[in-house]
Chain A
Amino acid sequence: MLRLILKKIGLLVPTFIGVTLTSFFFIRLLPGDPILLLAGERGVDPERYQELMVKFGYNEPIWQQYLSYLGKLFQGDLGVSIVTKQPVLQEFMTLFPATVELGVCAIIFAIVVGLPAGIIAAVKRGKTLDHSVMTTALVGYSMPIFWWGLLLIILFSGTLGWTPVSGRIDLINYWIDEPVTGFMLIDTWFVDQPGAFASAVQHLILPTVVLGTIPLAVIARQTRSAMLEVLDEDYVRTARAKGLSNFRVIGVHALRNALIPVITIIGLQIGVLFAGAILTENIFSWPGVGKWMVDSIFRRDYPSVQGGLLMIAVIVMIVNLVVDLLYGLINPKIRHTE
């Protein structure tokens, strides 16, 4: 197992180098002079320009610049934001819990609804229920989620007035001075402000539904086809022949085996979640890294864009690696063939 882990990590090294090269060249490929870009709209006088050229190392050969960029990366130095003058890594880490909280809620929502929906569709194969579940799933899969979010705002925030439109919490009535974890649901649970937790939950509902929609559809479709494959197997027929209850056959014998491909699909949703978070956070003014990336692009805060791009790619790589290894754990077939 250890050898397998090391081998998989080894395979990631070229990708990691490629990702760092991409983010390194991102700033250098931007149209315009890098120093002028860093200086922003104020511009710089020629003397200061030379100083900055030396300071940032732009006068050195390109490979040397890349090496010093890599060196800084490994010390956790992703540069400084032009707009806030804060270290990019620090900014990212402050905002990241908001995105994680939203992403985790969305994937839980997708699994809790998608998995049973897929199972029901498989069991009722060919019936009306199957068709309606699968049609709904295909609509969800085709959903432009930025529009879906706006529709939900029109209905639930506008017409019904049930949910707030934006943010993570009602900032007029509640405040978190020193966020302990950065996760609003946890922080509000322990803070001594009645109603704060409820407010956080209310703010989470719509973004969760919007971000969870596409993963939900994917999970439902995948669960259905995995279940159908398993339901034809001999051991399921044997279980039925032994007189086990329908619930036990489907819920235990079939589901356990059908879950293996489904778990992989769930793991692969991490990239989809990040892409979705960019749109969802934008619609609901959710202060996470997705909104921050788009804002940074518009503010021409390129060090932030560069750092965020790298961090997100690295996180996606790590999560995919973990999923890959878990897959080996739950599926002995894979483990032994490697």
Chain B
Amino acid sequence: MADVTQNSAPDTRFELIMNFWRHFRTNKGAVAGLIFFLALVVVALLASVIAPHSAIELNSDSLLLPPVWQEGGNWTYILGTDAIGRDLLSRLIYGSQYSLFIGVVVVSVALVVGVCLGLIAGTFGGWIDTVIMRIMDIILAFPSLLLALVLVAVLGPSLINAMIAIAVVQQPYYVRLTRASVMSEMSREYVMAARVSGVRTMRLMFVTVLPNCMAPLIVQAALSFSTAILDAAALGFLGMGAQPPTPEWGTMLAESREFILRAPWVVTFPGLAILSTVLAINLIGDGLRDALDPKLKRS
């Protein structure tokens, strides 16, 4: 983003955004990902209107009903029903709310905490920097899913605790990124100028330097949005995330595991939902990276 500012010198924020959009638009995959993602947001927001049935209501007369295109399926339950007769399509629709909620919360928490720590480490240096970075090294020494699992074991299995655990294991990446860009920005002349003119440290950190470190952070946010959804689903799958009867996609998979050979559809659709959501977000992430970082685009 810094390069964009220097090369074409757009004087308004609007032009900056248009410039970015021109780059982003050329990437067909990224645009497709964005369209899918926006559609998912609409589905999540209108879940109670769109969903044909309740997500948790049981229908004991229609257990493990196959989807409509298979023999025995019917139009009342388009994607079929699960082992206790809940409508799969409705559960998937309500599940989108959870996945997006998880992504938003985890990324916001990890981003805010990570950026603050990274700014502090990069601005002040010295022992504060050392302490913060050593703690991040310790978090990164553990495989992320393992640490998240153990954190949930300490906190108790629930969706909120799973989100906290995932945010904790993800924020070191934000700290490292912010610190690295802050340190490279600190030696620039505009920072020196701001310092000389007596700008207070807080203002220097958040108003002068931070906006110029945003590009890698935005890309990281997109990538960790998808990782958050994947990890939360994995925790749900292991029984350590959202608890039944929550229609979270990973938890749905865990509940239907024992029926995989008898009723493959109860396993297929929740996983497909996770995969397509994560794929869409990763496509957007790749597009953002190409559009925001001209250096990487060439490769």
Interface residues of A (CB under 8 A from B): 14-15, 18-19, 21-22, 26, 29-31, 135, 138-139, 141-144, 146-148, 150-151, 153-154, 158, 225, 228-229, 271-272, 274-275, 278-279, 282, 293-294, 297-298, 305, 309, 312-313, 316-317
Q: Is B18 interfacial (CB 8 A cutoff)?
A: no
* A146 contact set on B, CB distance < 8 A: 233-234, 237, 250, 253
* B226 contact set on A, CB distance < 8 A: 142
Q: Is B143 interfacial (CB 8 A cutoff)?
A: yes
Q: Kindly supply a per-residue 1/0 record for chain B positions 133-144, scoring 1 wherever the CB is within 8 Å of any chain A CB and 0 otherwise.
A: 011011001111
* Complex-state Cα separation, A229 to B234, whole angstroms: 35
Q: Kindly supply a per-residue 1/0 record for chain B positions 223-248, scoring 1 wherever the CB is within 8 Å of any chain A CB and 0 otherwise.
A: 00010001001100111100000000
Q: Are A147 and B240 interface neighbours, CB within 8 A?
A: no
* Complex-state Cα separation, A317 to B268, whole angstroms: 37
A97 to chain B, nearest CB (A): 18
Q: Are A29 and B149 interface neighbours, CB within 8 A?
A: no
Evaluate whether A305 and B234 lie within 8 angstroms (CB atoms) in the complex, with A18-B141, A274-B146 already known: no
* Complex-state Cα separation, A268 to B174, whole angstroms: 18
B155 to chain A, nearest CB (A): 8
Q: Are A18 and B135 interface neighbours, CB within 8 A?
A: yes
Among the interface residues A19, A146, A148, which one has the most CB atoms of the partner chain B within 10 A? A146
Q: Are B268 and A279 interface neighbours, CB within 8 A?
A: no
Q: Are A151 and B142 interface neighbours, CB within 8 A?
A: no
* B279 contact set on A, CB distance < 8 A: 138-139, 142
Q: Are A275 and B145 interface neighbours, CB within 8 A?
A: yes
- Which listed segment binds A: B63-71, B115-123, B177-185, B259-267? B259-267
* Complex-state Cα separation, A26 to B154, whole angstroms: 7
Q: 10 pairs across A/B with beta carbons < 8 Å?
A: A15-B141, A22-B138, A138-B282, A139-B275, A150-B253, A150-B267, A154-B264, A274-B146, A278-B238, A297-B153
Q: Are A138 and B283 interface neighbours, CB within 8 A?
A: yes
* Complex-state Cα separation, A147 to B56, whole angstroms: 22
Q: Which residue of B lies closest to A214 (CB)?
A: B230
* Further contacts, 17 of them, CB under 8 A, given A18-B135, A142-B279, A305-B153: A14-B137, A18-B134, A18-B141, A142-B275, A144-B233, A146-B250, A148-B271, A150-B257, A150-B271, A151-B271, A153-B261, A154-B268, A278-B145, A293-B149, A294-B149, A297-B240, A312-B143
Q: Are B138 and A154 interface neighbours, CB within 8 A?
A: no
* Complex-state Cα separation, A228 to B298, whole angstroms: 9
Q: Is B82 interfacial (CB 8 A cutoff)?
A: no
Kindly list the 7 A-B residue pairs having the minimum CB-CB distance in the complex, ordered from nearest.
Answer: A147-B271, A18-B138, A275-B145, A274-B143, A142-B278, A142-B279, A275-B143
* A305 contact set on B, CB distance < 8 A: 150, 153
Among the interface residues A144, A154, A316, which one has the most CB atoms of the partner chain B within 10 A? A144
* Complex-state Cα separation, A309 to B142, whole angstroms: 8
Evaluate whether A297 and B149 lie within 8 angstroms (CB atoms) in the complex, with A29-B154, A144-B278, A279-B234 already known: yes
A168 to chain B, nearest CB (A): 20
Q: Are B286 and A144 interface neighbours, CB within 8 A?
A: no
Q: Is B12 interfacial (CB 8 A cutoff)?
A: no
Q: Is B299 interfacial (CB 8 A cutoff)?
A: yes
Q: Are B261 and A154 interface neighbours, CB within 8 A?
A: yes
Q: Are A19 and B138 interface neighbours, CB within 8 A?
A: yes
* Complex-state Cα separation, A297 to B141, whole angstroms: 20
* A151 contact set on B, CB distance < 8 A: 267-268, 271
Q: Is B156 interfacial (CB 8 A cutoff)?
A: yes
Q: Is B79 interfacial (CB 8 A cutoff)?
A: no
* A274 contact set on B, CB distance < 8 A: 143, 146
Q: Are A309 and B141 interface neighbours, CB within 8 A?
A: no
* Complex-state Cα separation, A275 to B230, whole angstroms: 12
A268 to chain B, nearest CB (A): 11
* Complex-state Cα separation, A30 to B148, whole angstroms: 14
